[in-house]
Amino acid sequence: MKSTIALLQTSPQPAMHSALDEMVSLAEEACSAGARFLATPEYCGGLVSDGPKLVPPHAVEEEHAYLNGVKKFAFEHKVWFLVGSVAITGPDGRIFNRSFLIDDTGQVKSRYTKIHMFDIQLSETEVYRESASVEPGSNAVVMDSPIGIIGHSICYDLRFPALYRDLAKAGARILAVPAAFTKKTGEVHWHVLNRARAIENSAYVIAPCAVGDVPGGGEAYGHSLVVDPWGAVVADGGTDPRVVLADIDLAACEQACARIPSLTHDRPYSL
């Protein structure tokens, strides 16, 4: 069965209200085009940097203006929504980088807190320390949806293939990779990593990625991707805010598994 999905390639916003305005505009366009499943990037509810530290606008889940806006939109338009991630107020002044799957009644079906922290130094001047302000998660999450079983991940998780193997083994046929990938690393690694995760696991990868300058410093790469289970790029969002539409068909997952059934070929080994 084919499903039309829409990746909303949004830009990093300094506040929840401006992020919500941008999302609603693109989401209405996506719905008009026939999409019934929408997905947004990492930190779609606002992203701000302060040197190497991330300081996005945040709130507790029940009072989160962006998240509540998505719930309202999903209910009113009868669509499912993958909220790539928003900043949720956590303990001791830290935050959780958390993704949500919202159903067409506006209810939360699943939550995933980013496991792997983006702590890297690309150059003497470009340094990121996500763990300075973000509390990591510890649980992998899969959830059924009208387009298939989804395995959650967020951005830097993409570099840890064992996570995706476990998600696929748990039944995920769609691997979600919402991101705000940096332009520098995106130019060399974004496409190949997403294609590899799809090929390795005979699964679709849907990867909405923010695009443009980050308030406070940094730049997100864009190029939101849909990759099929054979590794072909079905859609690429390029370098401007926009709606990225694609059709997915889970029969392609079964075809890929039949050709190369590597998910059934794992063997124990010692090192």
| Residues belonging to the active site | 42, 114, 155
Cα distance between residue 8 and residue 229, in whole Å:
21
Phi, psi of 254 (to 5 degrees): -65, -40
Q: Are strands 150-151 and 174-176 parallel, antiparallel or unpaired?
A: parallel
Assigned token pair, 144: 């059924």
From residue 185, give the alpha-carbon distance in Å to each of 119, 139, 224, 252.
Answer: 13, 26, 14, 29
Phi, psi of 138 (to 5 degrees): -140, 5
Phi, psi of 259 (to 5 degrees): -70, -50
From residue 179, give the alpha-carbon distance in Å to each of 31, 121, 235.
Answer: 22, 18, 16
Assigned token pair, 103: 């159903």
